[in-house]
């Protein structure tokens, strides 16, 4: 039989463990993933495939992905700003050539993404036999930016940076239309 002292010790230990568990649960609830600074793409991908990531809420998963990809988006944004500045300085005849090169790269990248998504779908279909789930994953991979994200990005940009970018985007849109190319 347990003595009063034993009961107090056991109940204190149980209460302490409960407090520690509550503290961990509270601190982990707001957890937004690891620091991705200096991480290789393979490490980031492995984290996205981990059980820790899968166990997060969808809202937390989105926040972690935005955090992981923020440096890439910033780099791409800077590259696009530079492209817009370059385009603005070109004479009219060279602008068409410049636009065509950009469009060719967009088309090539889109085809590569589609091929990669198709390969993923085929691989998932072969492994699990669940084609609908694999197809849903592949189609969700095609969605890159929500319109509200693009709008927010352009609104926060300084007007002197935004103007050349908007001019380049419009020129690209018109040139793509001339070439009969539709991008989603």
State the Cα–Cα distance between residues 137 and 131, nearest whole angstrom: 10
pTM of the model: 0.54
pLDDT at 62: 86
pLDDT at 174: 92
pLDDT at 130: 53
**Which ranges constitute the DSSP H helices of the chain?**
4-29, 41-48, 51-54, 58-89, 92-128, 131-142, 147-156, 159-179
Q: What is the pLDDT along the chain (184 residues), one digit of tens a residue?
A: 566 665 666 556 555 554 454 444 444 444 566 778 777 878 888 888 888 888 888 888 888 888 888 887 788 888 888 999 999 999 999 999 999 999 998 888 888 888 887 776 665 555 555 555 545 444 444 445 556 666 677 777 788 878 888 888 899 989 999 999 886 5
């Amino acid at each position: 039989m347990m003595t009063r002292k034993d009961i107090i010790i056991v109940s204190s230990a149980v209460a302490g463990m409960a407090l520690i568990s509550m503290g961990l649960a509270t601190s982990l609830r707001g957890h937004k993933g690891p620091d991705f600074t200096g991480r290789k793409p393979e490490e980031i991908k492995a984290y996205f495939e981990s059980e820790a990531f899968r166990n997060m809420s969808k809202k937390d998963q989105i926040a972690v992905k935005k955090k992981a990809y923020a440096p890439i988006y910033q780099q791409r944004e800077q590259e696009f700003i530079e492209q817009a500045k370059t385009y603005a300085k070109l004479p009219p005849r060279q602008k068409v050539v410049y636009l065509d090169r950009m469009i060719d790269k967009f088309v090539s990248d889109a085809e590569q993404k589609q091929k990669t998504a198709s390969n993923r779908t085929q691989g998932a279909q072969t492994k699990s036999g669940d084609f609908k789930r694999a197809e849903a994953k592949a189609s969700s991979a095609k969605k890159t930016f929500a319109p509200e994200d693009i709008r927010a990005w352009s609104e926060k940009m300084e007007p002197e940076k935004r103007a050349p970018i908007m001019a380049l985007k419009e020129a690209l849109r018109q040139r793509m239309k001339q070439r009969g190319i539709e991008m989603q």
